Structure formats: structure tokens, C-alpha cells
Amino acid sequence: MPSALIDLTPFHGPKEPAKIKHQGGMMQYEAPQTTQAAVALLAKAKGNAYVLAGGSDLLVRMKGGYIEPDLVVDIKRIKAMCQVKKTASGWTIGAAVSCAELGETKALIRDWPGVVEAANLIGSKQVQGRCTIVGNMCNAGPAADSVPAMVAAGAMAQIAGPKGKRSIPVELVAIGPGKTSLKKGELVEAIVLPKRPARSGDAYLRFIPRSEMDIAVVSCGVSLSLDAKGMVKDARVSLGAVAPTVLLVPDAARAIIGTSLDEAALEKLGRACSAACRPIDDKRGTIEFRTKVAAVLGKRAAKIAFGRAGGK
């Protein structure tokens, strides 16, 4: 993501991220054709190794002098990582699939409009031509746009590593600003979105002071399913930019489950969203503002998701 869009600083102790220096000489670039080869390269790397998908965060950090990679592993030559596929159990989105491509995948938009609209809010058309939702997640910015939408969707991150494969919920990937739970040699191969039951909908909203190309001051993802009577059967609510990592807010989901999203339920959801916030004051928003807006966005996103699910 371009410099103006990377904003990890508010949640860092020191104002500048620590500089990670070369351990060897020149940077080595590798473009393996299989996941296994990528894992092997990352596992045996001496010094600082980074995965390159779209590069819209990595190159900015390299050029800003924040990192000096010893090894960059480009995953765009790995065929499986360049594919977005509908499967029996949902959708599998390869780690190298650009957000622009997601925006052109109509069947995905039908199933997960909120996830795609979040992915298509990242940066400009140029950035969307390269950036990926896996990169957005692994950059671990608290305000990453696609992450709250994925968390609300119940998305799983499929991880490959030296000890084999594992799958974890997206909300467990980032553990702090710029930090992930991935171990040495591990990389995320794909995001898996679950199969959509009938009468389901999702939505993502963010507050920014401009009309586009900005970082979320607060953001919210809601995904829900309705029963045959039009009552909310299942729901997940997530918030971005109000804590060091994106939050799943189970109390907000509980507030609307079993309701027809009436005013009282929406008010309760809003209160739960505000209560979950642990924001900071910074140049983009105050604690008070973020806490209040979280409730507003929560209610609005829930209404959109409800409407998309066919709720009345």
C-alpha cells in the first residue's frame, strides 16, 4: 500500500518502525513455481526474508529504508496462488490474486459482496492491480480494509510451512501492528471463505475524511444469515482501526441474533461495538470519535448486510 496508506505508527511504541538491516550483501530475488519451493526458500533463509505478492506494501517499506531484505520470494509464479476458485466448501482465493481481479469475479461478488467491496477500497486502481487481501492481512495494519470484512465472513487463512499445512481464522493472523503469528518458513497460500447459506449477506463500511484513497479511521464488517422467517440466525461483526488488531465482536453479533434487526437490536449492537473499542488518539481521530463512530458504522453495515440477505 502506498506510503500515505500504511499507517502503523499510531500503535507503535517508537514513532519510526525499527529498521531491519541487511545481514548479507545484496538482496536475492527468487520466483519459485511451487509452494513447497517457496517454503523451502523461506525456511532456510539466512537474514531477513519477505514474501512478495503485489508489493504495494513491501516495496514502499524497502524504498523508505525501513527494511533491507536479504531474500524476497515472489509467489506470483505459483499457479495455485494466482487462482480464485469456487469449491464445494466455499471460495479459495490464492495469495497472489489481485484485488482488481476479485472485483471482476462476479460470482464471488454475489456470494461475498462485503469482502469484495472492502478489497476494492484499498488504494487506487493502480494499487488494486497489484495488492492482495493476503498481503493486506499479513502487513498486519490495524486499519487494513479487507481484514474486518474477512473476519466477519469467518474466513480462514491457509498456511503452508516446513511442518506442513495448517488453517487458522483470519483474526488470529495479526497479533499486533506489523506483527503476525506466522513462524519462520511459513506463508499464507490462500484465504478460504465458507460456503454461503441461502438468505445471507455481508457488508463493509469505513469512515474516512475524503471520498477515497485514505486510511480507515474506523471500519466495520458485518456478515449475517437469516432463517426462513427473516430473523437473523447467525451473525459476525468485526471492527477495524479501534485496537492494535482487527477485532471480532461477539457481543455485537449476539445483540442481533434472533431479531429482525429492529431498532432496539441495532441500538444494542451499536453499544456493543462502542464497548469493544480500545482505540488511540491520533491525527486521524480521537478515542471519543472512534468509539462513537464504531456504533454508527456497525448499525449501518448491519442494515446493508440484512438487506443483501433479503431481510425486510
Partner 1 sequence: MSVKVSTTINGDQIDFICEPDETLLDALRNRVGLTGAKEGCGTGDCGACSITIDGRLVCSCLALGVEAEGREIETVEGMADGDKLHPLQRKFIEHAALQCGICTPGFLIAARALLSRNPDPDEEEIRFGLAGNLCRCTGYDKIVRAVQDAAREMRGA
Binding-site ranges for partner 1 (CB under 8 A): 1-4, 26-29, 31, 52, 54-56, 59-60, 62-64, 69, 72, 74, 76, 98, 100, 123-127, 129-130, 212-213
CB 59, min distance to partner 1, A: 5
- How far, in Å, CA of 5 to CA of 216, rounded? 9
CB 256, min distance to partner 1, A: 32
- How far, in Å, CA of 227 to CA of 82, rounded? 36
- How far, in Å, CA of 119 to CA of 101, rounded? 10
CB 27, min distance to partner 1, A: 4
Which of 22, 183 has the CB closer to partner 1?
Answer: 22
- Torsion angle in degrees (nearest 10) through CA of 208, 244, 117, 153: -150
CB 6, min distance to partner 1, A: 9
The owner of cell 524497502 is 62
Which of 45, 256 has the CB closer to partner 1?
Answer: 45
Q: Beta-carbon neighbour count of residue 12 at 10 Å?
A: 14
CB 101, min distance to partner 1, A: 8
Which of 59, 109 has the CB closer to partner 1?
Answer: 59
CB 138, min distance to partner 1, A: 16
- How far, in Å, CA of 33 to CA of 15, rounded? 38
The answer to whether 236 touches 253, Cβ cutoff 8 Å, is yes
- How far, in Å, CA of 249 to CA of 232, rounded? 16
Which of 130, 196 has the CB closer to partner 1?
Answer: 130
CB 75, min distance to partner 1, A: 11
- Counting beta carbons within 10 angstroms of the beta carbon of residue 229, is it exposed (0 to 12), middle (13 to 18) or buried (19 or more)? exposed
CB 57, min distance to partner 1, A: 9
- How far, in Å, CA of 77 to CA of 30, rounded? 10
Which of 32, 230 has the CB closer to partner 1?
Answer: 32
Which of 1, 39 has the CB closer to partner 1?
Answer: 1
What angle (nearest 5°) sits at the alpha carbon of residue 51, between those of residues 50 and 53? 140
Which of 13, 209 has the CB closer to partner 1?
Answer: 209
The owner of cell 431479531 is 259
Which of 75, 269 has the CB closer to partner 1?
Answer: 75
